[in-house]
Chains A and B, each alone.
Chain A
Amino acid sequence: MSEQDKGGIAGLLRAFTRRTDASAIVATTVLFVLFSLGTQNFLTPFNQFNVWRAASQNVFIALGQALVVIVGGMNLSLGAIGGLTVVVIGHSIEILGIEPWIAVILGLATGVLCGLFNGFFISRFKLNSFVVTLASSFIFQGLVNGISQGRPYSKIPREFTRLGKGDVLGVPNMVFLMCFALVVVYLAFRYSLLGRKLLATGGNAEAARLSGIKTGRMLLLANTLSGLFASIAACLWISRMGTAQPATGGDWLIVSFAVTVIGGTALSGGTISALGFLFSGLLMALLRNGLIMLGVNVYFESTFLGCIILLAVLVEWLRAGVAGKSRRL
């Protein structure tokens, strides 16, 4: 092997370790290979369809969280916004007899309004996002229970499920939608001024403010987008299940943080990776699916999940150390 080749491979490796999503890519690839070798039916089209569909759902849930994490905040009301969106859509279609496409618009508008509500209190009164979204999660959840009375809405038209259940050449429709959303996220944060301003606000709010960025507006925007993505995830869930359940969103908080953190989004804000989302969303789906196929005792699923998150954070810490050292060299 020539010196040039060695330098080339070493250079590639150095470049790879500088990526914030490196640990997610490695962990997911390793798990994918392990499950493929360790189980007979992991790679069957039926199983891959289910795994990728679940991964797409995870990505949309996590995008709702990541958009506030990059500005240094968090959204504890993400699941409740999803639940409220589901109830608004279900109630509009089943009880009010509204056309499904109008109901979806109402659902998305609900997500946007909830996000605006959070963003207003966080940016206008400089309140901590933890406290504001904790309080709003109770408000939204109360509305979910109050409107629905705990009753699921099952009269969802069959056409509504085309997106969540359908496929093109065996690839779930939701995967195409996920890819589109991730490309938009990549382009927005890589090339648009607005995206850079959002990242700058999360990286160092004071420095961003001094450089002329209206950080309050960025916080408002990030929270509004968070609400929007929560409502998109809710629409996809209805489409996948064919019913609108008020219990939707109850388990989103852990998924949203896990995918966000494993995907390389720093909890202190300022960084995001579309590729990281793809791999970490897939990782979560793989974990649940693969453990069952391997016959591992799923009583301990949460333990495995916690270990993987901790491992990802540790690998990220190591990676950051190595990348910093190589830069210094």
Chain B
Amino acid sequence: MRKLFALAIVLVAATVAFAAPAKMAWYVSAPHPYFDAVRLGVEAFEKDYGVTIKKQVGPDWNMDSENTGVLALAADGYNFFSVYPSDASAANGLYDEIVKKGGKVVNFGASTFEPTPASFAVMTDVKAAAMKAAEFLIGKMGGKGTMVNLLEVLEDPNTKLRKDGVAEVLKKYPNVKMIEVAGVKSEQEAAEKIEGAVASNGGFVNGILCTGFVPTMALSKFLTDYEMKSKKHIFGVGIDDDPVILGAISQGYLDATIAQNTFGHGYLSMLALKYLSEGMKPTAGKYKVDSGVVLVTKANVSTYKADLTKVTQAIKADLPKIYLTK
């Protein structure tokens, strides 16, 4: 009996020792305006719930750096991570090690390849967003003409989804010819490719679609310069809501942009982690949390943020009811 009692004490002590307190961390690959916007959501979460989140910015977009950074935080006692996966495939290897150590990971901004050890991916449905942007652009073009689709690097799984989304919309419009340009890594490269596509088609380009942040920045500047010089308007739709992009919309050079719920990416991923740390479990089949988007045009450029806040509030209420179970 005494032996059993001693064994029970040892077991309880071991359980207490191994049940590490929840320490939450937010890890991003590198300095980027997108992450600055997401950070606002993380900071709002800290304020609302009175917790402190370790916010770590990595030096580059390499998986090696992400491995080193996240594992160093794990060694320092952090066990609940909100991470932007630098590599959708290789990040699963990192997450495996975190989960085996008793931790939890929530992706934000992009998903890792499934099956994945991550509990959730709080992200924009990039394919749906690209389809929405393409529909709007083709509508502006009157359902006919030539459009340029400028894509970012093909290694990014989101690029493939965006490419597929635009192709799907295009099937409905046989009178629209598409020129696809891919592999854009920098704004300079994007600017050169846009200029090249417009120049090589001798003024027959009616619309330009950019589904990545970097090309959209280049597009905003290109369309502004182009219209000021030539007095001709090429329809343009982009993604994200940098002040440069919003400025081009306000002045009428860019027709629209898809605003992602970056605040929600930060806030909701941390909230999901909080619920996980309290013992709740992910609901089967609810891995992806669509954070929603808003189409921003000249009409709603000053009010669209309120729409995104409504989306965040709705998902916040849904998280413990739909996405998690006790």
- Pick the residue among B65, B69, B89, B94 that contacts A152 (CB under 8 A): B89
Asked whether any CB of chain B lies closer than 8 Å to the CB of A197, the reply is no
Q: Are A250 and B93 in contact (CB under 8 A)?
A: no
* Residues A251 and B60 in contact in the complex (CB < 8 Å), given A150-B153, A289-B68: yes
Q: Per-position contact with B for A297-312: 1 when CB-CB < 8 Å, else 0?
A: 0110110000000000
For the complex, is A204 an interface residue (Cβ under 8 Å from B)? no
Contact call A292/B69, Cβ cutoff below 8 A: yes
B89 touches A154 (CB 8 A): yes
Residues of chain A within 8 A of B89, CB atoms compared = 152-154, 241, 243, 245
Q: Which of B71-79, B261-269, B292-300 contacts A (4 or more CB under 8 A)?
A: B71-79
Interface 9-residue window, one of A20-28, A36-44, A180-188: A36-44
Residues of A277-295 at the interface with B, using a CB-CB cut-off of 8 Å, are: 285, 288-290, 292-293
Query: Contact mask B50-73 → A, CB, 8 Å, 1/0?
Result: 000000111110111101110111
Q: Which of A41, A47, A150 contacts B155 (CB 8 A)?
A: A150
> Any chain B CB within 8 A of the CB of A91?
no
Interface residue? A132 (CB, 8 A) = no
Question: B92 at the A/B interface (Cβ < 8 Å)?
Answer: yes
Taken together as a complex, chains A and B put the C-alpha atoms of A288 and B66 apart, in Å, by: 10
Q: How far is the CB of B71 from chain A (nearest CB, A)?
A: 4
Closest B residue to A252 by beta carbon equals: B64
A50 to chain B, nearest CB (A): 4
Q: How far is the CA of A165 from the CA of B96 in the complex (A)?
A: 10
CB of A246 within 8 A of chain B? yes
Given contacts A154-B113, A243-B89, A245-B90, contact A289 B62 (CB under 8 A): no
Q: Which of B71, B74, B77, B93 contacts A242 (CB 8 A)?
A: B93
Beta-carbon contact of A293 and B72 below 8 Å? yes
Complex-state Cα separation, A286 to B101, whole angstroms: 22
Cβ–Cβ contact B72 & A47, under 8 A: yes
Interface size classification for chain B: 20 to 34
Q: Does A39 lie within 8 Å of B153, measured CB to CB? A: no
Contact indicator A240/B93 (Cβ below 8 Å)? yes
Contact B75 A47 (CB under 8 A): yes
A24 to B28 Cα, complex, angstroms: 31
Are A292 and B73 in touch, CB under 8 angstroms?
Answer: yes
Q: Give the CA-CA distance A302 to B60 in the complex, in Å.
A: 10
Which among B62, B72, B97, B113 has the highest number of chain A CB atoms within 10 Å?
B72
A46 touches B75 (CB 8 A): yes
A230 contacts B by Cβ under 8 Å: no
Task: Known A-B contacts: A41-B77, A46-B75, A245-B63. Give 16 more (CB < 8 A).
Answer: A40-B76, A50-B67, A54-B68, A150-B155, A152-B87, A154-B92, A241-B94, A243-B92, A245-B90, A247-B155, A250-B62, A292-B68, A292-B73, A298-B56, A299-B59, A302-B59
Residues of A within 8 A of B (CB): 39-42, 44, 46-47, 50, 54, 57, 145, 149-150, 152-154, 161, 165, 240-243, 245-247, 250-251, 285, 288-290, 292-293, 298-299, 301-302
Binding site for A on B (CB under 8 A): 31, 56-60, 62-65, 67-69, 71-77, 87-90, 92-94, 96-97, 101, 113, 153-155
List the 10 closest A-B pairs by CB distance, nearest first: A47-B75, A150-B154, A152-B89, A292-B72, A241-B93, A150-B155, A243-B89, A301-B59, A241-B90, A242-B93
